[in-house]
Amino acid sequence: MGRTRSRSSPPWERSSLATSCRARRRVPIGSAVALRASLPLVPAVPGQAARPDWLGGRVTLSWGDATSPNVPVLHLPAPPPATVAFADFLAAGLAKRVEDHSAAWVVRMLELGLPKGAARDFASIARHAVPPRPEDRHRLDWVTALSCESAIDADSQLQTVRCDYLLGNIRSVMHRTGAGHLHRALFAPWDYGDSLNNQSLHWEPSEDRRHAYQWLVPTNSRSRETGGMLGANRLALEAWPLFPSFPDGDRVRTRGFRGNRAASTFWLWPLWDSCLTADGVTSMLSLRGLQADPLGADSLRGFGVVSVFRSQRILVGKTPNLTPPDRVI
């Protein structure tokens, strides 16, 4: 929905676009959707010759409007299009195949390491990336999101499905998502009407597969015929490079996570009222106060943080799950 600020505001703050699925912005995948909704608007979108006027300058993201503090708001340099046109624009710019996507290098490396007896080989990345080129930065951001050269067999703490399932799901999510899915994810209450079969990142707490949490037996394929938001998964996927992983012994620590054991791993993310660019969002997610115990509330508020949510990464059998989050600030 469009919203125009006063004429005294800077031009990059005069027009904004707020999503309407407010209640769901507290879940992890919802926050990732909101983060990603701003990011394809900053660089030129591949395959599109000209940028529209509403992307002709600085694009920023903040949280909260007159109706709710949990609404993500995009601030655009000119009045935004209708919501349907906005979703159409996103759908036209998002890759439908991994081979056409910035994740192609790392996905190919991970796929080559799947067969029995095979190993992940970073040499395949080096062949592309050495010598480094500025135009390859977006591809290397995906390398650090899905892998870690110093802990080659470790997976991102955001990865909550087996690697072979993940790579198949990434392909399916890219291929199957259309403009209608994106519009429902951004501008309508979430109805969870899409299938979960082979098209989910498993970041939604409602995907907890324990028997007591659902009507059907988890092994029954009918239990996954609905319950998903395909457009939300597609946008959340694009936010993954905001969460790189770094070596921690034979494991990794992923940006935004605290702890590294099954019973003590938490994902924390902030909401803020400042208008931040994509680089500013990256810095906000990296604030040291988010990892302090107890949280550095005063310090975080000094950076414009208005609230912080926390979700625990638990194991259900051998499958990681994210719990419904609590507000901790």
In tens, the pLDDT along 210-263 reads 555 555 555 555 555 677 899 999 998 998 999 999 999 899 999 999 999 888
Sorted by sequence, the CB contacts under 8 Å of residue 139 that are 6+ apart come out as 102, 103, 104, 105, 106, 128, 129
Residue 328: its pLDDT value, please?
95
The pTM score is 0.86
Residue 14: its pLDDT value, please?
43
Residue 42: its pLDDT value, please?
39
Going by DSSP bridges, is the β-strand pair 326-327/319-322 parallel, antiparallel, or unpaired? Answer: unpaired
Which residues in the chain belong to E strands, given as ranges?
Answer: 2-4, 15-18, 60-63, 72-76, 245-248, 251-254, 257-258, 266-272, 305-316, 319-322, 326-327
In tens, the pLDDT along 56-107 reads 888 888 998 888 888 888 888 888 889 999 899 889 889 999 999 999 999 9
Residue 2: its pLDDT value, please?
35
Burial of 206 (0-12, 13-18, 19+ CB in 10 A): middle
Is residue 39's pLDDT more than 90?
no
Residue 242 is classified by DSSP as: G
Which residues in 50-122 belong to E strands, given as ranges?
Answer: 60-63, 72-76
Alpha-carbon gap, residue 327 to 312, rounded angstroms: 12
Name the band, by pLDDT with cuts 50, 70 and 90, for residue 41. very low
In tens, the pLDDT along 150-162 reads 999 999 999 998 8
In tens, the pLDDT along 17-26 reads 776 433 344 4
User: What are residue 266's DSSP bridge partners?
Assistant: 258, 312
In tens, the pLDDT along 253-294 reads 999 999 998 889 999 999 999 999 888 999 999 999 998 888
Sorted by sequence, the CB contacts under 8 Å of residue 258 that are 6+ apart come out as 265, 266, 268, 290, 291, 293
What the block records as the tokens of 286 is 């990296």
Better-scored residue on pLDDT, 33 or 112: 112
